Structure 1
Amino acid sequence: MKLEKAERAIAVFEYALAGVLGVLIGAIGTTLHRQWLPWVLLFSIIAVFAAATMVRAWIGLGGVAAFGVGLLVVIQVLALNGPGGDILMPAGDTAYLSYLWMAGSLIAVGTACFTPRRWFE
């Protein structure tokens, strides 16, 4: 019985760690995606794909779901106005960069979900 509880605790910890990794990469990507165009934006999307692929190899598709939820939540929260009226993803002439970051990160997570299973065996 104790072994099952320990395995369950480890599984919960792994999923939580995958979510935290999504939050971390989402926060870094959101704050930096408008710097040194287009290289940081491209690197951020590649980092999302690499991390999602790593999580899939480590935990499986459930871990990618936890990673994706953490990523999506932090991107959406950081897209809102800050307490002083600051915004990291402004509308206007360069709004397409923010849309590229949001859509590109979701496509990268989706692509990691549909990679062949034999890559991870």
Structure 2
Amino acid sequence: MNDHKDIYLIVDDEPDMCWAFQNLLAQNNILSKNALNGRQALHLIRKESFKAVFVDAKLPDIDGLDLAKKIREVSRGLRLIMVSGYFYRDDPAIRKALEEGLISDFISKPFQNQEILSVLKNIH
């Protein structure tokens, strides 16, 4: 069984996206939890330990980069992977967040399963 710290958090306001992530992770024997907004995500991060967090860039209650800053205040060493259908890796805000270490990686939607698996390899 996975250690508690091997649980990943998926933060996305689309239940179908959470389901897709969760199933892909489960196929690779990785446990995960979902949060549908920033408030739920921060609550879970304060309560539990996670290995990494996949954060949607656009959430109903907060911008993903703003959420990343709030997560950093709660858990400095947590790996954050931004997932977005709005931004691209070469967007100035994303480049800056990567350079400053606010986020560890970036995946654009729609993504290929291999992109997620590649990011997971870098985390392990």
- TM-score normalized with structure 2 length: 0.30
Report which of the two structures shows the higher radius of gyration computed on alpha carbons.
1
Higher relative contact order (Cα pairs below 8 Å, separated by 6+ residues): 1
- TM-score normalized with structure 1 length: 0.30
